[in-house]
């Protein structure tokens, strides 16, 4: 068999018309007759024609590729956001390139570089914990392609953003813990350079104040939020002269690590130590005790991010109004923090 790929030209030859006419027929150009259009479609099918997307991208200056950068795919939060983004964008003829930064600034830069190299039509990203310098993201902005951040964003970048109200999240958690009778609430935070963790810290401190609880510096600990960080930090907390009676962790994995140490030390959860995580990862409901957590409505975040991208490509020149979309989170109360049995 002639193993060459069929091109628009082959179709043209069969029908005795020009490639240009074929192209127009396939793109449903108004000036092409129905008769020709049908004939072209027929022949295209017969020859098993597959449009060369690369050629079209070169000519049109548009690849129909969208890059998505996430810190880790293994987190359910991110993977479900991606799923939603894919859903929506695939429908509109876009393909999604997913890359992971693994929370590393260096890897993130490499990802951006790679995506720009691939000439994606836009980037939807959540920043690595490590990332402080915004140079690479500014590079994206300078390229003039849409850049949408979610969850982990920076105000300074001045781009569209979708996320939850982190300040309020902390209030929800602290209010709940206080209701449960907790008085010395520790907070395991992420990198305080990142906006979201900064906001959660602010919320934590303000909420404590509202409840007339003192803020103790030694109960606020910054970390990388991995499971092993949780183990280490909980160890530390247990060694304090005055132990906390509750821990509000800014992630479920770090909370899980903390829980392990608590169990090892036979500390009763929630009676002796209440525990709250963040993100509502599936495992938080299956460990014992199940971990109270914050649900961030990831599908909604994914949806909004995708729709915002589409809006931007549709109207690239509406420079002014940035979209900052802030969703309201939800506290999912479970065994790890439920001291007061209400029945």
Partner DNA sequence: TACTTTTGTTCCATCGTTTGAACAAATATA
Partner DNA sequence: TATATTTGTTCAAACGATGGAACAAAAGTA
| Distance from C-alpha of 240 to C-alpha of 221, rounded to nearest angstrom | 13
- Interface residue with DNA, options 1, 28, 60, 93 (CB under 7 A): 60
End-to-end C-alpha distance for the chain, whole angstroms: 75
The minimum distance between CB 26 and DNA, in angstroms, equals 6
SS3 per residue for 59-123 = HHCCCCEEEEEECCCCCHHHHHHHHHHHHHHHHCCCEEEEEECCCCHHHHHHHHHHHHHCCCCEE
Stretch that binds its own copies, among 33-41, 114-122, 177-185, 295-303 (CB under 8 A): 114-122
138 binds, among its own copies, DNA, none (CB under 5 to 8 A by kind): none
Residue 7, SS3 per DSSP: coil
The 8-class DSSP code of residue 292 comes to B
- Interface residue with DNA, options 42, 55, 74, 83 (CB under 7 A): 55
Stretch that binds DNA, among 25-33, 213-221, 246-254, 332-340 (CB under 7 A): 25-33
- Interface residue with its own copies, options 23, 25, 49, 63 (CB under 8 A): 63
Omega within 30 of 0 (cis) for the link into 289? yes
86 binds, among its own copies, DNA, none (CB under 5 to 8 A by kind): its own copies
Q: Is residue 35 within the footprint of DNA (CB under 7 A)?
A: yes
Q: Is residue 320 within the footprint of its own copies (CB under 8 A)?
A: no
The 8-class DSSP code of residue 279 comes to S
- Interface residue with DNA, options 13, 14, 19, 211 (CB under 7 A): 19
Residue 324, SS3 per DSSP: strand
51 and 18 in contact (C-beta within 8 Å)?
A: no
Report the interface residues with its own copies, using CB under 8 A. Answer: 3, 50, 52-55, 57-58, 63, 65, 72-76, 79-80, 82-83, 86, 90, 95-100, 102, 110, 114-119, 144, 227, 256, 260, 263, 282-283, 286-288
């Amino acid at each position: 068999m002639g193993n060459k790929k069929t091109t628009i030209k082959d179709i043209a030859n069969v029908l005795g018309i020009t490639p240009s006419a074929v192209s127009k027929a396939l793109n449903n150009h108004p000036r092409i007759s129905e008769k020709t259009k049908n004939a072209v479609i027929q022949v295209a099918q017969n020859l098993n024609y597959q449009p060369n997307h690369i050629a079209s991208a070169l000519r049109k200056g548009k690849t129909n590729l969208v890059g998505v950068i996430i810190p880790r795919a293994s987190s359910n939060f991110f993977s479900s956001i991606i799923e939603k983004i894919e859903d929506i964008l695939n429908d509109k003829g876009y393909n999604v390139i997913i890359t992971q930064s693994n929370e590393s600034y260096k890897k993130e830069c490499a990802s951006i570089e790679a995506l720009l190299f691939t000439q994606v039509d836009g980037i939807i990203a959540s920043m690595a914990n490590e990332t402080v310098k915004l140079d690479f993201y500014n590079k994206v902005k300078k390229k003039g392609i849409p850049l949408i951040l979610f969850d982990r964003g920076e105000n300074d970048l001045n781009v569209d953003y979708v996320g939850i109200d982190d300040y309020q999240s902390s209030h929800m958690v602290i209010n709940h813990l206080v209701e449960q009778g907790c008085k010395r609430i520790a907070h395991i935070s992420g990198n305080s350079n990142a906006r979201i963790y900064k906001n959660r810290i602010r919320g934590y401190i303000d909420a404590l104040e509202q409840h007339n609880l003192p803020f103790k510096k030694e109960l606020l600990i910054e970390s990388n939020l991995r499971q092993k960080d949780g183990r280490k930090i909980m160890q530390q907390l247990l060694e304090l002269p005055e132990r906390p009676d509750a821990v509000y962790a800014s992630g479920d994995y770090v909370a899980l690590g903390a829980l392990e140490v608590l169990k090892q030390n036979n500390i009763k959860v929630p009676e002796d130590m209440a525990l709250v995580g963040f993100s509502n990862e599936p495992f938080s409901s299956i460990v014992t005790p199940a971990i109270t957590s914050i649900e961030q409505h990831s599908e909604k975040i994914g949806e909004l991010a995708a729709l915002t991208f589409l809006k931007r490509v549709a109207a690239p020149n509406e420079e002014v109004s940035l979209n900052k979309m802030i969703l309201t989170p939800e506290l999912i109360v479970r065994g790890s923090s439920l001291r007061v049995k209400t029945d």
